[in-house]
Every structure is written in structure tokens, then in C-alpha cells.
Amino acid sequence: MSFNGQRFTPLEMLAKLVSFDTVTANTNLPLIAFVESYLASWNVPSIRLPNEAGDKAALYATIGPQDRGGVVLSGHTDVVPVRGQSWTSDPFTLRVENDRAYGRGAVDMKAFDAIALALVPDFLAANLKTPIHIMLSYDEETTCLGVMGAINRLGHDLPLPKAAIVGEPTELEVVDAHKSVVAFTTEVHGFEAHSSKPYLGASAVMAAAELIAELNRIGDELMARGDTSGRFDPPYTTVHAGVVGGGIARNIISKFCSVQWEFRGLPSLDPNEIPRRLERFAEEVALKRLNRFGDFGRIETRMEISVPGLAPEPGSAAEILTLRLAGRNQTQTVPFGTEAGHYQKAGIPTVVCGPGSINQAHQPDEYITLEQLDAGTAFMRRLAAVCAAS
């Protein structure tokens, strides 16, 4: 694949990126190969960071000086599935109609990626003094861990950036805080017996019900504790059990039950508080009840997803810069998780700001308005001017 310095408009680049079926269950390597070739045609070096299986990769590129940290434009390449959704056209062929660009990932978040890539020639022409880094990750829609290969190198063999802008769709509002998203599976192992003689067994379903009731109690307490900042919707940490499965018949004491649950925590929440409380309840109450007729059962909880929250950093380099670029005078919060917390934990001032609305994400006929695409393009052109001046 050779481009010979070919230029793309942001809309043309978006059409190209949407054409790659990068649903999270699939590989993103064809998209990464395309971007590598495109960047190479402009003599922009990039680093491919594959996952352990070798079927996906992140990409990190720097435009401008290579010996210092600059501003990261961070976006993910994966998208959510389309199966079962009623699309009016091919989700992986960009359709432009009524001043909207339709396609899977059009707003979440290949538009941000497309603008950054389309403006590479402009970034080069600006003769940047502060570099602009482009980070493209994978698996954001499932674990938010696809960005970690690059983040773990920042400040080590790669310069530590001065600021990161994670381009999730916020309609170019500047977001300085969001909740964490931490997900678990709790498995209860019991012992089967006839339901008429419960003392011969241990019911995994009944023990799981006690654990769910405790999650309810924890959730109620955290709701009452509330959000002292008054910035989040809902204004408290939420606790939720979404999937329960166990037992094979109502007259058999159940041998196994699993509960998939999560919490979405305010940035001030100790991430260990809720799992520790459930673990303590499991040991002191649920397990004792499970095994009251004998040493039949056990309870195990494993964490499956941990997306750190983004905490406000008033006056940070990222906040000051992005408010200026977006023409805003105050920051906002969002209810969804992003990769931003990982950058912040690595010591990089970070905000979330990107074109388009999250209201159009994850649904059939996902779209971004052309007006928002243009606004995002103007945003990045202003970034280039700032990075060229200092």
C-alpha cells in the first residue's frame, strides 16, 4: 500500500477508517497497516504495539520533534457490534446524507482519529516546536487496556507528553472528570441435593441472592453518601448486578451460581472499598450460611474490567490548552468511562474532548454531523498553531 504523500480530507479519511470492520471481537491490523503506510508516505515515524495474541495492535506516532513530549491526540480503533441492529445501509460504508456521515464508528470515535490523520500534512507544514502525538488503541469498548502498551513506555523509552486529549465524542465540551468502571464476576460453588432435604447440600443460588442483596445495601449507602461536587449524573457511585445464572431445576439444591456485577465510582471513591466490603460479607455471612450443614461450598470473585476514573485537575496543562482550543470557559463531566484515567495515572494531565455526540454512539445508523466534523477539524488546526508557536 503506497500513498506517495496523498492528502485526504477528514471526511475522506473517515470513510476509509469506517470501511475497516474493527468490531472489538475482530482484528484491527488491516486498519493499523493502512495508517502505518499513510504515515510513512509523509515520513512520519510510528511504533506498532501488538497485543499478546498478535491479532491486534496500537499505534503511536509523533509529528514534530522526536526528543520531547508534546500533546497526545488519543483515539481508539475498535467499535461495538452491529449484529441485531437495524441499519438502513451498510454500517462499514460511510453514507453522507442530510449533513450527516453515517457508519459504525463514525462518531465513536473514528471521526476524531480521521481528523488527526487527515491533518498530518498540515501538522508537518506548521513546523511544530511542540510535537503532536497520535495514539490509536484497541479494545477500548471492552477493557480499555489496549492503550496500556504505549502508556507504559511514556516517560521511559518515549518522552512523557505534556498533555493528553482523549477524543471521545463530547461535542467539543472539555471534560475533566468521569467515573470509574470496574466489573466483576462472583462465582458461588455449592453442593447438590434434593430440595426436600436442604441439610444434605449447599445452595449456590441462595448464597448468591444474599450477595446481591448486600450489593443493594452497599449501593444504597453510596447513593446516600452522594457526590459532594454536584457534577455527576447520577450524583453518586452506582452498584449494579446485571447477569445471574445458576441451578438446573427448582427441586435440586443448586451446585453453582454466577453473578456479573459492576460499580461506576466517583473519582473520589477508593476503588478497593466495594470489593473489600463484599469479600468481607461473603466470608462472614454468605459463606457461613452456605456451609452451615457442612464444608460444602466456596465463593470466588474475580475482577474482569477496571477502567480508572478521571479526576479533576483544575488548572492543568491539558485543561488550560483544551479550553482555549475549544473556546470554552468551563469543564464538564460525562457518565461514560474512557482511557483518560490511564493517562492520568501515568502522570500525564488529561482531558476528554472530541467532536460529535455520545447520543449517536452504539446505535443503528450511528452518525456524526458534518458541522461537528468541521468543528473538530478547526479545533486541531488551532492545536497545530499553538504547537508551532511554542
For every residue of 211-238, DSSP letters joined together read HHHHHHHHHHHHHHH--TT--SSSSS-E
Query: Which residues pair with residue 303 across a beta bridge?
Result: 184
Catalogue the active-site residues. Answer: 78, 140
Residue in the block written with cell 465524542? 169
- The pLDDT score that the predictor gives to residue 1 is 60
Answer whether 57's CB lies under 8 Å from 138's CB. yes
Separation CA 323–CA 298 (nearest Å): 52
Question: Environment class of residue 174 by beta-carbon count within 10 Å: exposed (0-12), middle (13-18) or buried (19+)?
Answer: buried
Answer whether 377's CB lies under 8 Å from 193's CB. no
- Domains along the sequence of the chain with CATH: 10-178+310-389 (3.40.630.10), 182-307 (3.30.70.360)
Phi, psi for 190 (deg, rounded to 5) = -115, -150
Would you state the torsion angle of the CA atoms of residues 370, 373, 379, 384, taken in this order, to the nearest 10 degrees? -120
How many Cβ atoms sit within 10 Å of the Cβ of residue 276?
Answer: 11
Query: Which residues pair with residue 165 across a beta bridge?
Result: 73, 351
DSSP character at residue 22 = -
Would you state the torsion angle of the CA atoms of residues 267, 269, 275, 276, taken in this order, to the nearest 10 degrees? 150
- The pLDDT score that the predictor gives to residue 2 is 59
Strand, helix or coil at 194?
strand
Cβ neighbors of 118 (< 8 A, separation 6 or more) are 7, 8, 9, 10, 12, 13, 377
- The pLDDT score that the predictor gives to residue 4 is 74
Instruction: Show pLDDT as tens, one digit a residue, over the chain (390 residues).
Output: 656 778 999 999 999 999 999 999 999 999 999 999 999 999 999 999 999 999 999 999 999 999 999 999 999 999 999 999 999 999 999 999 999 999 999 999 999 999 999 999 999 999 999 999 999 999 999 999 999 999 999 999 999 999 999 999 999 999 999 999 999 999 999 999 999 999 999 999 999 999 999 999 999 999 999 999 999 999 999 999 999 999 999 999 999 999 999 999 999 999 999 999 999 999 999 999 999 999 999 999 999 999 999 999 999 999 999 999 999 999 999 999 999 999 999 999 999 999 999 999 999 999 999 999 999 999 999 999 999 998
